[in-house]
Structure 1
């Protein structure tokens, strides 16, 4: 996550990466290699998109920890950066849009893979299908291609990858998952889709757009609060200092999340167009984790490493780790002999770098 370190994953993807370009292919290789090393299942959704600039090859990357699980909890972001036709604008790297969100997902996979592996082993030891009781959901991470418009944002010049994947996943599968009696579409296996966008700059404001996932939005907000009060989210701030600081507008340590009951803070569902729209229209429950107002550097050459704030990025990573781990009910120590010591080590690793 440290973009100041040249070999960090974020630094390596912080380059212009327009859909159809060699740079994006290179970045996709970095991302795929990361998940391959972690032992995740890889799915590449390769297609040709008809754009205002001609046909462009595109690839959605889909990584699933346990493809035999009947349900998927999906976190996602777009990997491509916006196309600009002129120099120097063509050097746009999209640090918040969405290199940093992608790096957060890579970090999430790294942090949770040991927990997910342990749960999968317990399922297998308990007899496969029978051991899945209460554990039928796995983590899936999607990196969309073609989110950005090549010219003006329209229904046909935008979110190419998300539109294609929803169309593909709406088709009936040829065989059911191991513990299903009937086939389902891949789309129907998604319990929730969380989309990250425009994150990594200090002082984001995140709102809940969808009443049916307000409870999940609250879980992210509660994770932030618990980590902050424990002195973990912002190192150096104890409970009292964090509690006071987080109320100050403009302070980096204030809450990222706007409470759902805040007056004047509600926005119309779907009012911000992004990769979630095709999924939302297909009935998938959505949490849209996007900064509103957009960062001041949005779609400018200044959306580079200088726009990012490392403590903010690390805070996001911890919030994601804790919320997703708890949502999935992960407890890797359950089947270990020295459970208490292992549990302490595991949880320490979850909130450290």
Structure 2
């Protein structure tokens, strides 16, 4: 496949009327979600619970490019859309998630590219397809490390989701709204441009699925249609979390959008508590120490986002979906170069991403990673979103 041209940054000032319309739409969506779900916050996990997530499953095993059986090794092969290698990777991802008994949908379609009609297939894996709400992790099948992180996340949280379901059925779950939110993983095909990044030569899978979900209506009697604005599949999405260009050392992650700034803060807080617990130190001599710890994230100033980069989230963003975009910016130095192979990936960095995502999503879904009946750290600040603002609450002031 010919090399593709780099994706552009979003030029918000140049969008004129569309920018104002999009911001107005976002405000309406935020107000609608606040009315439907009320206040939502992250309850920080205890150190005991964090240690459980750190230790099991092994956060290195499946992101080690030197281990031929790792998720990363299985995915890290040349895999353009509509090729045999692409099929091999897709079948591996599907088989891995089927072992966990997740519901799998393979969304196949044809689209016209600069080099003729190609066949694309998105993978949609859902923990509980009957759940009325879902939080979606998104990766592109041409982005190997984030796809491996997503598989690790599914394996780490799967038994905890079973336990949460048991608590819900026994009437032991404090927040039923959270307990009825399922985890969904989407692996998009055809993210990169074939020739030059344009509106029609890029993000093939994302464009197709956003349109499909926005025009697929839920049966009126379905349990999943509990939210007033969830008539379509698109309306059942709480947040879409996109992982891209992750795995190289020393990434810089910025907050892109105001409405998910509180989620960005929650991910930053998860990383900080992991560092304080010593979770980033491993190996015989310790690959990282607390003294050497440097955050992946650039702290926010106020509530403003920097705008964003064109990626798989754009079709969903334009339809009003709340997006957290986790992407290295600037891009890794090897991006779109021949050196962009396993040697560009850093195991300590990828291990840290696995741990951050485990803690972040366990707190989002109110999971309890240890045997204690209450694995919440009451001394840690809670990251909270109210109906009107984004802020952090100190427990002593609550």
TM-score after normalising by structure 2: 0.73
Q: Does 1:106 align with 2:151?
A: yes
Q: Distance in 2 between matches of 1:11 and 1:191?
A: 32
Any residues of structure 2 matched to 1:44-55 within 5 Å, and which? 44-55=106-117
Give the aligned partner of residue 119 of structure 2.
Answer: 57
User: Using a 3 Å threshold, how does the CA distance of structure 1 residues 302 and 184 change in structure 2: closer, same or farther?
Assistant: same
Give the aligned partner of residue 213 of structure 1.
Answer: 260
How far 1:245 sits from its partner (Å)?
2.4
Give the aligned partner of residue 144 of structure 1.
Answer: 188
Q: Distance in 1 between matches of 2:359 and 2:367?
A: 10
Q: Does 1:226 align with 2:270?
A: no
Q: Which has the higher contact order (CA 8 A, sep 6+)?
A: 2
Q: Does 1:296 align with 2:336?
A: no
Which residues of structure 1 form unaligned runs of 5+?
A: 81-97, 247-253, 334-338, 345-353
* 8 A Cα contact 2:258 2:304, kept in partner: no
* 8 A Cα contact 2:218 2:233, kept in partner: no
Q: Does 1:257 align with 2:297?
A: yes
Give the aligned partner of residue 160 of structure 2.
Answer: 115
Cα deviation digits, residues 273-296 of structure 1 (max 9, x gap) = 100100110111111110011000
Give the aligned partner of residue 37 of structure 1.
Answer: 99
Q: Does 1:166 align with 2:166?
A: no
Q: Distance in 2 between matches of 1:72 and 1:61?
A: 16
How far 1:327 sits from its partner (Å)?
0.4
Give the aligned partner of residue 383 of structure 2.
Answer: none
User: Using a 3 Å threshold, how does the CA distance of structure 1 residues 134 and 102 change in structure 2: closer, same or farther?
Assistant: closer
User: Using a 3 Å threshold, how does the CA distance of structure 1 residues 217 and 133 change in structure 2: closer, same or farther?
Assistant: closer
How far 1:238 sits from its partner (Å)?
12
Picking from 64, 70, 90, the partner of 2:132 is: 70
Which residues of structure 2 form unaligned runs of 5+?
A: 1-62, 377-398
Give the aligned partner of residue 246 of structure 2.
Answer: 199
Runs (4+) of structure 1 moved beyond 6 Å?
A: 236-239, 341-344
Give the aligned partner of residue 83 of structure 1.
Answer: none
SS in structure 2 at match of 1:61: strand
Give the aligned partner of residue 320 of structure 1.
Answer: 357
Q: Distance in 2 between matches of 1:200 and 1:131?
A: 34
How far 1:261 sits from its partner (Å)?
1.6
Q: Distance in 2 between matches of 1:179 and 1:274?
A: 28
Give the aligned partner of residue 200 of structure 2.
Answer: 156
* 8 A Cα contact 2:258 2:305, kept in partner: no
TM-score after normalising by structure 1: 0.82
Cα deviation digits, residues 126-155 of structure 1 (max 9, x gap) = 59xx99454121111100001010001101
How far 1:172 sits from its partner (Å)?
4.0
User: Using a 3 Å threshold, how does the CA distance of structure 1 residues 232 and 268 change in structure 2: closer, same or farther?
Assistant: closer
For the aligned residue pairs, the C-alpha RMSD in angstroms reads 2.7
Give the aligned partner of residue 15 of structure 2.
Answer: none
SS in structure 2 at match of 1:113: helix
SS in structure 2 at match of 1:195: strand
Q: Distance in 1 between matches of 2:193 and 2:304?
A: 27
SS in structure 2 at match of 1:199: coil
* 8 A Cα contact 1:42 1:63, kept in partner: yes
Q: Distance in 1 between matches of 2:190 and 2:338?
A: 19
